[in-house]
Structure 1
Amino acid sequence: MALINLRNLGVTMSAPLFSNLNFTVDAGDRVGIVAANGRGKTTLLNCLAGRQEPTTGDITRARGLRVGYVEQNVPANLLEVSFYDAVLCALPKEQIASESWRVDVTLDSLAVPAAMRERALAQLSGGWQRLAMLARVWVTEPDVLLLDEPTNHLDLAKIALLEDWLNALPRDVPVIIASHDRAFLDAVCNRTLFLRQEQPQSYALPYSRARMALDEVDASDERRYQKEMKTAQQLRKQAAKLYNLGVNSGSDLLTVKTKQLKARAEKLEDSARPGYRERSSGSIKLANRGIQAKVLLTLEDAAVTTPDGTLLLKTGQQWICQGDRIVLLGRNGAGKTRFVEMIRRAIADPSGGGAIKPTPSLVLGYSDQALSNLGQNDTPLGMITRLFELGEQRARTVLAGVGIGIEMQGKEIGRLSGGQKARLAMLVLRLTNPNFYLLDEPTNHLDIDGQEALEEELTEGEASCLLVSHDRSFVRSVGNRFWLIDRKRLVEVDGPEEFFEAARTQD
């Protein structure tokens, strides 16, 4: 018997998000929900959790079913509460005194260190906060677990921990996950639901295999559509010839045949449906102004330190050359972000005479994981017209092209969605017209279409870049060189897989 049954489900906000969704959730299902930003993933989770009513259709749940929903954000009233107490207070009041042991069991299963449990959530990283929200839900022993973007803010070690934890759950507990992390979906899901406006599609396959199957269906639909439209065009041409013959000869039979051919063409055109095309969340394009120099940056055994002078790593003698797409690997705290910041400063002030030496013609395109180049109180239109020599009309056009419509262009950037901010940051990079990119977690908040577009821009455009990312699929697709911070030294390795595997066993 299905635990949750969706029949002809649809939700319309200002526009339809999805419709005609028929789907069942059974014991043991691990379902990945995939859609572009703003296409209804969180809305569907809210419907499944009973927090929102669908516009059309029905949701039937097994009697007494307890649904646990792990949201993306920490409620404000919990920020000053300790990790342990935040989980404890999720228990029903009558159980807190007698069943607090459940909290310890849950935190042990998530490998939360003892010292971490006493710290306030506001003092913790985004990754630990996400695990605290998961623990709060799991301690209540739900029958179904809903996760909304669970890998956001998690480093590779915590992503591996979450994967192992999910795969070790009792098999009768279904898990439904909305995520843009392709490698994570492949690791934990056995079903994939592609949420679409008119006809959602589902496959009993992990993401990558499901995506291949879906792409084949879409391509087949497009071929059939093109064939039917070509046939309709031929019928119309034939009808036109017969019409001319009928007019010249006065033949009623030819007139009848002409009408029949036109009717067949119209029927074909009315019933033909093109292959699926995603409504764009906004395009991602990069620029590459080109550079004559072969060596873009020289590192002469640069020392990367903390603000108090503690050594994090030394680079040795290294070079970044034109066409290099270098991925910087290292555990959390190894110095990746500090190293990237040192490079940024050295390019901004090449006269500093440090151990990082950029070529004089280098033009930097920089984006960090906090998107700090976007002023939260600024407006998209104000920022673009101030930073670049664009008239207002041109600025409005390029903003609309990245998915920021007229109605949002004059509002504060802080009010944009995460996906819109990420695309705005990519637009700033393009308009800067750099010849070297320095990117710290560039896929944060990008949906899968956006990730793939950025991958294509970097690889097909032969961009030169140094990047940091926890997105394994992105790293595998983009990198052609790999630097690893190992025992306070920067060493070149053949690929990322050994590091990815080692991250699973990090403390």
Structure 2
Amino acid sequence: MSLITARLLGMALGAPLFSNLDLVVQKGDRIGLVAANGRGKSTLMGCLAGLVDPTEGAIQNARGVRIALMQQDLGAEDLAHSVRAALTDSLPAETRDWDAWRVDVALDALDFPADLRDRPLATLSGGWQRIALLARAALDEPDVLLLDEPTNHLDLERIGIVERWIAALPKETAVVVASHDRAFLDAVTWRTLFLRTTGSADFALPYSRARDSLDVEDQAAARRHEMDLREAAQLRRQAAKLNNIGVNSGSDLLTVKTRQLKARAERIETAAKPAFREESAGRIRLAERGATARTLLAIDTLTVTTPDGRKLFTTGRLWVQPGDRVMLLGANGSGKSQLMDRLAHALRGADVSGIRAGPSVITGHVDQALSHIDGGETLQSAIGSRFPLGEQRIRTLLAGAGFAVERLARPVATLSGGQRARLAMLILRLQQPNFYLLDEPTNHLDIEGQEALEGELTGGEAAAIIVSHDRRFVETVGNRFWRIQRGRLIEEDGPAEFFAEAMRG
């Protein structure tokens, strides 16, 4: 049964986001919605939820269908309320008094801690805020559940809970998920919509298999386009020859034939459709300098503690050499951030007991909060204050990262998460490090950006120590794996066992 039917749907916000989109959401559908940042995923979700009017086309809902949208962020009015109050207030006023019990049921289903439920949302981490948003969307037991980036800010344990929660929903409930988490999409969806400006593609397959099918279609389209252009060029050459002969002979017949060939070439050129090409808004590119020392970093029996001195774990002897891409694995609270902080100090030249950095190390450090970028500085000053570059060169670099000229004087604080991530990657590239220290680098990057970053990190000899909850990113980039377990930092052959344990909670 069709719950939502969209026909010839289009949306333009300054520039076209999507057009001529046909989409039918059936009972029990599990649909993954994929597009680069800023390409219309949230807008389409708003259209399906009835909150945004499309520029063109129409949406028809089944009679009495209930649709709930989990948005990416809480409103300012929500943050001052407790979790319980924010969810209770979202219930219909006429049934709120006797339906308030639903709030705890929804929170229980997502393992939301009881001691956090009466705390203001503003005091909670981004991860717990995201779980609260998910619980609120599910309160009314909707027929269609629209989830916009549900795994942002979540660790693997929470992602595992959300995956199991979606699997436990009633079979007739339709779920549409907009996400950049490829492993999550593979786990919870069996249908994938690639949203494009024109020619959006819908496959009855989970993300990875759908992406393979899409690549095959795009390659075939590229070949067809090339053949069409070759045929048009050949017709134009023939027309030119006939035109010369016709002029010399005075033949009206050849003149008519020449016009016919040119018209046919124009029709082919007009109808020829180039293969779809869309990169993340601004390319992710890194640069690296060579390292002369064979060992870039050595760790020797280091003890990592909490800020108040409580022991978290100890290490044996470990080292990092050029080309090593170390993935640091561990549960939340196990000490990953503390180790990364100490490594960052040592790599910047500080004297840190138990850590020795090689003399040729040039470090590129990006933490999870992107704290090295001041929200008050402008885009232009974020580059100009760090690197001795001329104004035109800075403008060119920022344009290559996807920033329009009119935005360059705006404060960094006005950027979206994805835009700040791209700015951070640009700064990282200009530093030309040979050692990357990256904490959740794929946060806010879309799939195109993630894949570009993967290619940059694996394509050279730079070393890296990386913390990430993105399973696909870890598997693709990592060639060494350090795991914090039972008070020790140990090296393992791969991340599979850690992933399995973390997802089980």
SS at match of 1:150: coil
Unaligned runs of 5+ in 1: none
SS at match of 1:222: helix
Q: Distance in 2 between matches of 1:452 and 1:398?
A: 20
Q: Is the 8 A contact 1:364 1:435 kept in 2?
A: yes
1:206 counterpart = 2:210: no
Aligned residue runs from structure 1 range 298-313, under 5 A: 298-313=298-313
Residues 343-390 of structure 1 show CA distances to partners (whole Å, capped at 9, x for unaligned) of 00011124x152110001100001011111111010010121111011
Q: How far apart are residue 338 of structure 1 and its match?
A: 1.1
Q: Is the 8 A contact 1:377 1:414 kept in 2?
A: yes
Q: Report how many residues are paired.
A: 505
Matched with 1:123 is: 123
Question: Match of 2:53, as an amino acid?
Answer: E
Aligned residue runs from structure 1 range 26-41, under 5 A: 26-41=26-41
Matched with 2:224 is: 224
Structure 1 residues 215 and 389: CA distance shift in structure 2, 3 A: same
Deviates more, 1:251-260 or 1:269-278: 251-260
SS at match of 1:221: helix
Question: Match of 1:380, as an amino acid?
Answer: L
Matched with 1:413 is: 412
Q: How far apart are residue 392 of structure 1 and its match?
A: 0.4
Q: Distance in 2 between matches of 1:462 and 1:232?
A: 45
Matched with 2:441 is: 442
Q: How far apart are residue 238 of structure 1 and its match?
A: 2.4
SS at match of 1:21: strand
Matched with 1:478 is: 477
SS at match of 2:228: helix
Aligned residue runs from structure 1 range 446-465, under 5 A: 446-465=445-464
Matched with 2:8 is: 8
Q: How far apart are residue 437 of structure 1 and its match?
A: 0.4
Matched with 1:148 is: 148
SS at match of 1:289: coil
1:57 counterpart = 2:54: no
Q: Distance in 2 between matches of 1:498 and 1:149?
A: 26
Q: Is the 8 A contact 1:379 1:412 kept in 2?
A: yes
Q: Is the 8 A contact 2:240 2:258 kept in 1?
A: yes
SS at match of 1:273: coil
Q: Is the 8 A contact 1:327 1:466 kept in 2?
A: yes
Q: Is the 8 A contact 1:90 1:140 kept in 2?
A: no
Matched with 1:359 is: 358
Unaligned runs of 5+ in 2: none
Question: Match of 1:464, as an amino acid?
Answer: A
TM-score after normalising by structure 1: 0.97
Q: How far apart are residue 29 of structure 1 and its match?
A: 0.6
Q: Is the 8 A contact 1:287 1:433 kept in 2?
A: yes
Question: Match of 1:365, as an amino acid?
Answer: G
Matched with 1:192 is: 192
Structure 1 residues 331 and 179: CA distance shift in structure 2, 3 A: same
Matched with 1:290 is: 290
Q: Distance in 2 between matches of 1:418 and 1:114?
A: 30
Q: How far apart are residue 93 of structure 1 and its match?
A: 3.1
Q: Distance in 2 between matches of 1:353 and 1:2?
A: 62
Q: How far apart are residue 114 of structure 1 and its match?
A: 2.4
Matched with 2:44 is: 44
Q: Is the 8 A contact 2:323 2:460 kept in 1?
A: no
Q: Distance in 1 between matches of 2:248 and 2:208?
A: 60
SS at match of 2:2: coil
Q: Distance in 2 between matches of 1:100 and 1:243?
A: 82
Matched with 1:430 is: 429
Q: Is the 8 A contact 1:144 1:174 kept in 2?
A: yes
Q: How far apart are residue 311 of structure 1 and its match?
A: 1.1
Identity of aligned residues (%): 56
SS at match of 1:399: helix
Matched with 1:324 is: 324
Question: Match of 1:230, as an amino acid?
Answer: R
Matched with 1:386 is: 385
Q: Is the 8 A contact 1:90 1:137 kept in 2?
A: no
Question: Match of 1:426, as an amino acid?
Answer: M
1:314 counterpart = 2:317: no
Structure 1 residues 251 and 59: CA distance shift in structure 2, 3 A: same
Question: Match of 2:327, as an amino acid?
Answer: V
Q: Distance in 2 between matches of 1:112 and 1:393?
A: 51
Q: How far apart are residue 133 of structure 1 and its match?
A: 1.2
Deviates more, 1:60-69 or 1:434-443: 60-69
Residues 28-82 of structure 1 show CA distances to partners (whole Å, capped at 9, x for unaligned) of 0111111111111111111111111111110111122221111111222332433
Q: Distance in 1 between matches of 2:66 and 2:455?
A: 43
Matched with 2:182 is: 182
Question: Match of 1:31, as an amino acid?
Answer: I
Q: Distance in 2 between matches of 1:150 and 1:204?
A: 21
TM-score after normalising by structure 2: 0.97
Question: Match of 1:458, as an amino acid?
Answer: L
SS at match of 1:326: strand
Q: How far apart are residue 493 of structure 1 and its match?
A: 0.7
Q: How far apart are residue 86 of structure 1 and its match?
A: 2.7
Deviates more, 1:65-74 or 1:365-374: 65-74
Q: Distance in 2 between matches of 1:280 and 1:160?
A: 27
Deviates more, 1:328-337 or 1:251-260: 251-260
SS at match of 2:95: helix
Question: Match of 2:458, as an amino acid?
Answer: T
Q: Distance in 2 between matches of 1:74 and 1:238?
A: 64
Residues 99-130 of structure 1 show CA distances to partners (whole Å, capped at 9, x for unaligned) of 33322322221122322333332232211111
Matched with 2:347 is: 347
Matched with 2:104 is: 104
Q: Distance in 2 between matches of 1:417 and 1:102?
A: 34
Q: How far apart are residue 391 of structure 1 and its match?
A: 0.3
SS at match of 1:97: helix
Q: Distance in 1 between matches of 2:461 and 2:291?
A: 12
SS at match of 1:98: helix
Q: Is the 8 A contact 2:39 2:196 kept in 1?
A: yes
